[in-house]
Every structure is written in C-alpha cells, then in structure tokens.
Structure 1
Amino acid sequence: MSVILTYFNGTLIMPKLGIWNTEPAKHSLFEDAQGLFTGTVLASLGVMLLTKAGLLTGGVAGMAFLLHYAFGISFGLGFFLINLPFYWLAYRRLGIAFTIKTFSAIALLSVLSEYQPKLLEIGYVHPIWAGILGGLLIGMGMLALFRHRASLGGVGILALYLQERFKWRAGLVQMAIDLVILALAFWVTTPYIIFCSVIGAIALNFFIAVNHRTDRYIAM
C-alpha cells in the first residue's frame, strides 16, 4: 500500500506533498494548508471553551473578549477588526507570504468562533479546567501556525518579530503582554474569573515557550 501511495507512473507522490520527507526543506503548499486549518481549528476550540466559562485570554483575543463582555460585540468581529493594524507590521517585517497566511488564519478563526457553537455544544466546564484546556488548545494551534510561518495576528506577530530580531522567546514576550491585558479585565469580570483566565494564559504561553524553538524545528 505504501508503494502505491508513494509512486504513480514512476513519480514520487508523497514527497511532492511534503509527506515523509526526511530532508530539511520548505513546507509544501499542501503542508501549509493543512497546518493552517488544523492550527486554527484547535485554537477555535480553545476559544470556545474560554467563552463557555466566561474567561478571557491575552493578546488580541483578550482585547476581543473584553469588547465582547463589556459591550456585547461578537468575539469574531472584534478579533478580526483589532487585527487589521498589525498586518502592516507583518508585511514590512515578516513578508507577504506570512501576512497572507496570517490573514487567512484570522479570518477562519473569526468565522469558526461565530458558527462553531452551532456545530458543537458544551454543557458545562469548570472555569479552571476551561482555562487550562483552552489555553493548551490555543497554544497548540498557535504552535502549528508558527511552524508554518503564520500566526493569529496582533501580539503573535509582534512576538515572532521580536524573537527573530532580538532572539527573545516568543512565548515569554507574549506572556508579559498578556498579563497586562488580563489586568484590564478587572473592569468587566470577577477576580475568580480573572484568576482562572491567568491560569489559562500561563498554560498557553508556557506551552509555546517550551515548544517553539527555532533551533529544533528547521522546516520553513
């Protein structure tokens, strides 16, 4: 079966798709597409868990949550609009390919955050567990996007730029900014919910700080 999948008319099919490659190389178009889709879906599940428990997170997503809880603006719309100014930084510093892939991921997450509750219903989740699981899911989604030269915009773009420019860990940079944003949450929610949100933010950024290392992952 593997021979059939690998060869067709004497042509190597799977390496053309970027599957089973053992040599360092740039990601194929197929790899980028599945990476962006998978990463965004994972992140959207994390957002859904946080929303269900009334939690927040950091970055642009945290800003969108603040607008949602304070003014009733939908998360998807707020997330998409707040990210608009960051595309210029992405284009100038990280290139057109990164900008296009990031825009695609942001647009998909905005759509999924609006329509996913119609496809999946969550009955109950404890706020602390929602923070941990939601943070890890968003972290895994962001890691997948980072490894395909994309992000979920905003602070993620800034963190990636600072890592490439000054070698600062993207996860630690994002954690510092996230804690500032979460401090603003005292205006819209309770200390307990903020506590659970901080746990989620720590889970998210610690996961990225440990796993997002350019010296270990060499594909582009």
Structure 2
Amino acid sequence: MTTDQVAEPFSLSLRAAIEDGHARAQGSEFVGALLAGELNLAGYTALVTQHYFIYGALEAAGDAMREHPVAGRFVFDGLRRLPALVADLAALLGPGWRDLVEPRASTAAYRDRLAEVAATSPTGFVAHHYTRYLGDIAGGQVVRAQLRDQHGLTDAGARFYDFSAIAPVPTFRKRYRSLLDRAPWTPEERAEVVAEAGVAFDHNVAVLVELAADLPTFRAA
C-alpha cells in the first residue's frame, strides 16, 4: 500500500486545521446575536454591507483565477454571491444604496488581503474561497430561517443565503471535498492553503468583532 493510499484526505486535514478559526467565528458575539434573533434590520444590513465588499474582492479574484488549471476548478458561477448582495442592499437600503455603504476598517483590510493573495496565488485563492463559501453554505440556511421568522425576509433582502443554484447542497459539498483531495498540490502548497485559511478566519473574525462594537445600536428593541 502506498503512502498516498493511507494518507488522510486533504479535505479532512484542512477542516481539522481550521476548527479553531471556525469556532472563533461561530462563537463571536455578533454571530450569537444574529442567530438568537437579537439584531434589528440595521444590524443585519451592516453585515450585508461588509459581505458586499468582501465578496466583490473574492469574486474578482475568482475571475482572475478562472483559467488556472487547478484553482479554476473551484470557480463555480452558481456560487457567485455578488448579484444577490446587490439585490439585497437595494431592497434593504433603496435604489441609492451605493452612496450609503462603505467598508469598515477590518473589511478594507480583508478586501486588501484578497486582492493581494487570492487574486495572485492559486493556493491563496482556494484557501479564501473555501473558508467563505463553505462557511456561508453551512450556516446560511439557519440565518435564512431566522431572517424569515424575525424580519419577514423571504426573498429580497435575504438572497445572499439562497444557494439553490448549486442544489443539492450535500452533493456539492462532496464534489468540493473531492476537488480538494484530488488537487495536485505538493505538501508545501497544501501547507500554504492551510496557513492562508487561518489568515482568512482572522480577517473574518476581525470584521465580526468590529460589528459587535455597535451591538448596542444593532440589538432589536
């Protein structure tokens, strides 16, 4: 039996390596308030706004990586979130929404990291792609249900969490894990993916911490 046959699949190694970052994001005060139904629409809109800038940079990186023989395999048009975010902000803020939104400092730093790494490094792109999309797919349906029950958002305003274009989700996740496992990376390149995934979670948590500073304003009355 060869080493490759007994080695742990990379998708499992990557998942284990980012468990701490995932726990920090899920355990953040802002996410806790969101899932508990404590955010008013202003609080939710603040999150959508930051997603708009983050996904704008990530999907620009995806366009840059589309033709790469390895990273390009992870570019799925059905995953694109920017059109949904544009529609959501138009619904939440009105037709002049572009004049009302701006990235917070932590979001600007996240966006800059995406432009620096995800748009230029195949392993960096996959690391950020994995942490963002797979995370939002995993928790998105819970948030979507919360928005429906609390704010009556079933379509406009909550399109970000509609992943019907890649349904069924379990099949997509299996396909994604297979792409990770079959990617012809060297051990050093796999280490780059793991390291940058950790950086991605650091940026994500920083955004959530900055949003949490405004929770006194964002908590529903």
Is the TM value for this pair above 0.5? no
- Structure scoring higher RCO (CA < 8 A, sep ≥ 6) equals 2
TM normalised by structure 2 equals: 0.32
TM-score (norm 1): 0.32
